[in-house]
Structure 1
Amino acid sequence: MSSIQLKIENNIAYITLNRPEVFNSFNREMALQLQDIFDDCKTNDDVRAIVLTGKGKAFCAGQDLKEVTSPEHNPGFKKILEEHYNPIVLKIRHIEKPIIAAVNGVAAGAGANIALACDIVLAHEKASFIQAFSLIGLIPDSGGTFFLPRLIGFQKASALAMLGEKIPAQEAEKLGMVYKVIPDEVFQEEVQKTAIKLANMPTKALGFIKQLLNQSLTNNLESQLDLESKLQIEAAQTDDYAEGVSAFIEKRKPVFKGK
């Protein structure tokens, strides 16, 4: 059985972490497979939005600790970070298409931070987030120390990273960690509805927005304004911009093609 399931439908790639027996924790096989899928989604013109979720009760419990304690199969933390998690986080941020993290259950350790690296986080009402690293003598990785303080502030991020407290979805929403909490009975429907909306929007413009938000994390104001100007000029040259303006003038719904 594949450790990841992939379905492409209506210009949406649904990626499901598929190791429910271990709460979708990562081993080397799953980490490398996810990278390959992201690479395919990046270049596949039929994919205009991506949904990342987990099979069963968990989104992702982070690293499979059996792998790192195995005398025969332990890749070591250097390889795990440099070949597994760091490339995954970078691919999430560099794919110029919107990525939804549909957090269906617990998101712990690297699993939590991979979710936070996505563009939009939709959380099931029973989902939870935990920076579990300090509880076993480790430090947050997978971009946790980068994204978390920017999402919720330095003080809260410091406390969650050090104390390793589990944060329920509702509190995560209040903190600004996730975009929206969705009730159980409509979770799949709302995730699909959001993904369909994104897949039918101007894909290049969404990619430019993603570029700008990435750069805003390190740019000064002058550099950011320059980049906005550059990308706005590029956006104005796309077919989708022409369609959007025509539809507005003609008072009709635009039909964007991601070009």
Structure 2
Amino acid sequence: MFSTIELTTDGRLARLTLNRPEAMNAMDDVMMRELAEAFESLKENEEVQVLIIQGEGRAFSAGGDIKKMVDPEKPMDISTVMVDVSRLAKGLYELPQITIASIHGAAAGLGFSLSLGCDVLIAEENSKLAMNFIGIGLVPDGAGHFFLKERIGIPKAKQLIWSGEVMDGNTAKKRGLVDEVVPEGQAAATAEALASQFLAAPIRAMIASKKILHEQNLKELEQVLSMESKYQVEMRQTEDHLEGIQAFVQKRKPEFAGK
């Protein structure tokens, strides 16, 4: 059914695996669309009560696929992409399941936004987490602004977005961005144990509380997604973005001019 992700169900537990390991699970236009479709299908699934989101290979997700952005033969269409990015973020936030992000390796850019949209974040201590859109002259998308504000408030969200700081698991936990830090290689097992713990609890009451807390924020989420899409399309046309992309591809430090 999907080519860039795997979605499996085991009774009341579902597992969604980002599956482009050769690209460190960087999200191209196909993965963004498939994630949106997967979340929208899970919204209609009344049997599944817990969802674990994880990455195949060396990382959770390195973020948006920059190489695909600059592909001269078939570059990603930013307007179409932002529709699917908004769909996946809203779909994730509306899920009637308890969601657990199991993070190892990199969770950067859109990959970090995706993990922050989960109810519980488990990260290995040597993982690399970053809201690093600023490095290529872009704004966070995938509701990154919304999820950061929910977790750490506006002042700290701004600082993190503007710096693009790369954090290990322990630093991210101190900042309130991660719920549990585990040794290298232990995220998956910890996520599975937590899922079992949730499934042995009165989980329908937990899901009801999630719905009460999330429902009241949907209008704000939709507004944030609309603004992220607007400004991302705008930022893609800036000189700073073009310089950031070129510097990334050429593996050099960018020289931004504020244009």
TM bucket by the smaller chain? Answer: 0.7 to 0.9
User: Which residue pairs with 1:60 in the alignment?
Assistant: 61
Q: Which has the larger radius of gyration?
A: 1
Q: 1: distance between equivalents of 2:14 and 2:170?
A: 27
User: Which residue pairs with 2:139 in the alignment?
Assistant: 139
- Indicate if the aligned counterparts of 1:93 and 1:210 stay in contact, CA closer than 8 A: no
User: Which residue pairs with 1:92 in the alignment?
Assistant: 92
Matching of residues 41-52 of structure 1 within 5 Å? 41-52=42-53
Deviations 1:62-111, CA, capped at 9 Å, x for gaps: 111122212332232221111x2111111111111111111122111111
- Indicate if the aligned counterparts of 1:129 and 1:167 stay in contact, CA closer than 8 A: yes
3-state SS, counterpart of residue 52 of structure 1: strand
User: Which residue pairs with 1:71 in the alignment?
Assistant: 72
Residue 35 of structure 1, CA deviation: 2.2
- Indicate if the aligned counterparts of 1:42 and 1:96 stay in contact, CA closer than 8 A: yes
Unmatched tracts of structure 1, length 5 or more: 220-259
Matched residue type, 1:54? G
Residue 7 of structure 1, CA deviation: 2.5
2:33 equivalent to 1:36: no
Aligned length: 218
User: Which residue pairs with 1:118 in the alignment?
Assistant: 118
- Indicate if the aligned counterparts of 1:97 and 1:203 stay in contact, CA closer than 8 A: no
Deviations 1:35-72, CA, capped at 9 Å, x for gaps: 22223322233311100010111111111112221233
- Indicate if the aligned counterparts of 2:104 and 2:185 stay in contact, CA closer than 8 A: no
Q: 2: distance between equivalents of 1:108 and 1:126?
A: 14
3-state SS, counterpart of residue 95 of structure 1: coil
Residue 212 of structure 1, CA deviation: 2.1
Q: 1: distance between equivalents of 2:184 and 2:67?
A: 31
TM-score normalised by structure 2 residue count: 0.77
Matched residue type, 2:212? L
| Displaced runs of 4 or more, over 6 A | none
Q: 2: distance between equivalents of 1:59 and 1:170?
A: 17
3-state SS, counterpart of residue 123 of structure 1: strand
3-state SS, counterpart of residue 122 of structure 2: strand
Q: 2: distance between equivalents of 1:11 and 1:94?
A: 18
- Indicate if the aligned counterparts of 1:96 and 1:206 stay in contact, CA closer than 8 A: no
3-state SS, counterpart of residue 167 of structure 1: coil
User: Which residue pairs with 2:237 in the alignment?
Assistant: none
Matching of residues 176-191 of structure 1 within 5 Å? 176-191=176-191
After superposition, the Cα gap between the structure-2 partners of 1:218 and 1:102, relative to the gap in structure 1 and judged at 3 Å, is same
Q: 2: distance between equivalents of 1:28 and 1:218?
A: 25
TM-score normalised by structure 1 residue count: 0.77
Unmatched tracts of structure 2, length 5 or more: 220-259
- Indicate if the aligned counterparts of 2:36 and 2:87 stay in contact, CA closer than 8 A: yes
Residue 216 of structure 1, CA deviation: 5.3
User: Which residue pairs with 1:24 in the alignment?
Assistant: 25
Q: 1: distance between equivalents of 2:6 and 2:218?
A: 35
Residue 139 of structure 1, CA deviation: 1.0
Question: What RMSD in Å do the two structures reach over aligned CA positions?
Answer: 2.0
After superposition, the Cα gap between the structure-2 partners of 1:5 and 1:218, relative to the gap in structure 1 and judged at 3 Å, is closer
Q: 1: distance between equivalents of 2:119 and 2:80?
A: 26
- Once the two structures are aligned, what percentage of the paired residues are identical? 31
3-state SS, counterpart of residue 123 of structure 2: strand
User: Which residue pairs with 1:7 in the alignment?
Assistant: 8
Q: 2: distance between equivalents of 1:146 and 1:11?
A: 29
3-state SS, counterpart of residue 41 of structure 2: helix
Q: 2: distance between equivalents of 1:58 and 1:33?
A: 19
User: Which residue pairs with 2:129 in the alignment?
Assistant: 129
Residue 186 of structure 1, CA deviation: 3.5
2:72 equivalent to 1:102: no
